[in-house]
Structure 1
Amino acid sequence: MTKIGLTASLPEIDNRPDSVFVMHERSEKLIPFHRHTKGQLSYVEGGLAYITTENKTYVVPARHYFWIPQGLVHELRVGIFATALRSLYFYSADDHANEFYSKLGIYPASELLIQMINYTERWDERHLSNGDHNFEFLVAMKNMLPTLNKRSLPIMLPNTEHVLMQKIMKYIQDHIGQKLIIADISEHFAMSERSLSRLFQAQLHISFLQYVKTLRMITAIEMIVKTQKPIADIAFEVGYAAVASFSDTFYDFTSSRPSDLRRR
């Protein structure tokens, strides 16, 4: 059977509201803004994936999974060709049973969940619903999700259409390896520190320091996945003088060490 691809399959996802639709995709793709009436569980086998909503972009590293709640408009971009995106679109009738199903979240994947998701490849591009021999397996998978991880990883950058804020964000990105303090940034853009701090909160709903830290971690994740540079070099290139400090911050964001992500 010829695979039709995730983008072409979008209309098929909601055809049977009571089913689970299985879709395993191995390609570099941009799936434009869309929504579906089912909740989406996707496992990123290798590389990176990016989820963009109206005002945020989330980064999903390899061997992590994400849940997108039903009805949420989003764009999905698979970053490099080696990435395999394994997705299951679940019926939403019982989503009210747990708040997990109502929030977008990114989580490290356990070996158990990975094996369960891989097992579903035999049903690729198929709907399974009540009465199908293997449907209870998928029901059990959905029911276990809220028990696997209690905290979604904070690997997210806010977006804005504010022109000055975009210029400031671009400046920080271009100088990510340098020492970045709010006093220097505000002086560069002829603003007071107080005004710049307020601008971050008003436009991005995040502090200056948290934005810089998050951007550094996302840049580091991309470099670890896409290059063979030593971890120490990556730490320096994203603005850390000490590898230990970089590794600790990286762990706070991803629940793994930089070397663990590299091995994956």
Structure 2
Amino acid sequence: MQKTEIASYLDAIELKPKSVYVVHEKLERSLPLHSHSKSQLTYVDGGIAYIFIGEKTYFIPARHYIWIPRGLPHYVKVRTSATITRNLYFYTEDDHTNTFYSKFGIYPVNNLLFEMIGFTNKWSGYIEKKDEGYNFMAAIKNILPQMSIKSFPIALPTTTNTKLRPIVLYMAQNFGQQITLDNIATRFGMGERTLSRLFQSTMNISFLQYLKLLRIVRAIEMILQDDYTTTEIAYLTGYNSLAAFSKAFFQVTNIRPSDFNKQNRQ
């Protein structure tokens, strides 16, 4: 996307603050880090996406939406050009009525909300109080606090640290191998204690916690692609048994991989 297109898109969001601005994108977006004065609901349809906020990367699974409060710097990346993002930028004059609107979160979409978000496909651009569809958009915003109680927990830290970044990239490319603190420290020429402290001080997470998060994020991607069985995914992500994989998956997501798979198929 050209700089002029980016500026035009961001200006359009801000132009009518009391409206709902609706954009259904069918191509990859390359918006840089940005923020705006509207609250944002983004539903990712037909693909895998990540949202970058501060020093963390949040994974957005299927049948989930992102709520981004006004003023929060962020950017979203999708994996394929076939992915559609349904973006609803809401007025904020009533955000004070519920603490939900001031907190970032990734929430599951039940059947009712799924149908309502899908129905917004008939509109694009500004929806103002005088327009058909405004009451429907307002209804979506009003029911979110009641429907969205528990946020999806996965946040994978990122880093620009020159010592740690090559290690993190290597782990991302080799997560299915038998990675240990010892063999990573040896490969990158440092002691185990030094490497352990580097993870903790730089990303506020232990080496093992980071490895577990990385593997579970990749496992979720594989589940959504629907190309492998749960047992195959367990071994492909570096676990030596289905039981060990299932335990780690539950610890991170609070749901069993088999149940998550069922939700995805539904």
TM-score, scaled relative to structure 1? 0.86
Structure 1 position 203 matched with structure 2 position 202: yes
Partner of residue 241, structure 1: 240
Of 65-74 and 29-38, deviating more is: 29-38
After the TM superposition, which residues 68-217 of structure 1 pair with which residues of structure 2 at under 5 Å, given as runs?
A: 68-125=68-125, 127-217=126-216
The alignment's C-alpha RMSD in Å is 2.5
Q: How far apart are 1:237 and its partner, in Å?
A: 1.1
Output the CA distance in 2 between the equivalents of 1:263 and 1:241. 26
Q: How far apart are 1:11 and its partner, in Å?
A: 2.0
Distance 1:254 1:6, change over 3 A: farther
Q: How far apart are 1:124 and its partner, in Å?
A: 1.9
Output the CA distance in 2 between the equivalents of 1:52 and 1:153. 15
Partner of residue 12, structure 1: 12
Distance 1:8 1:250, change over 3 A: farther
In structure 2, list runs of 5 or more residues that go unmatched: none
Output the CA distance in 1 between the equivalents of 2:260 and 2:175. 18
Percent identity between the aligned chains?
44
Output the CA distance in 2 between the equivalents of 1:13 and 1:196. 44
Name the amino acid aligned to 1:165. Answer: L
Structure 1 position 224 matched with structure 2 position 223: yes
Output the CA distance in 1 between the equivalents of 2:183 and 2:105. 34
Output the CA distance in 1 between the equivalents of 2:201 and 2:36. 31
In structure 1, list runs of 5 or more residues that go unmatched: none
Q: How far apart are 1:160 and its partner, in Å?
A: 1.2
Would you say the 8 A contact 2:37–2:70 is kept in 1? yes
Q: How far apart are 1:254 and its partner, in Å?
A: 7.0
TM-score, scaled relative to structure 2? 0.85
Number of equivalenced pairs: 259
Distance 1:12 1:193, change over 3 A: same
Output the CA distance in 1 between the equivalents of 2:118 and 2:171. 40
Of 152-161 and 133-142, deviating more is: 133-142
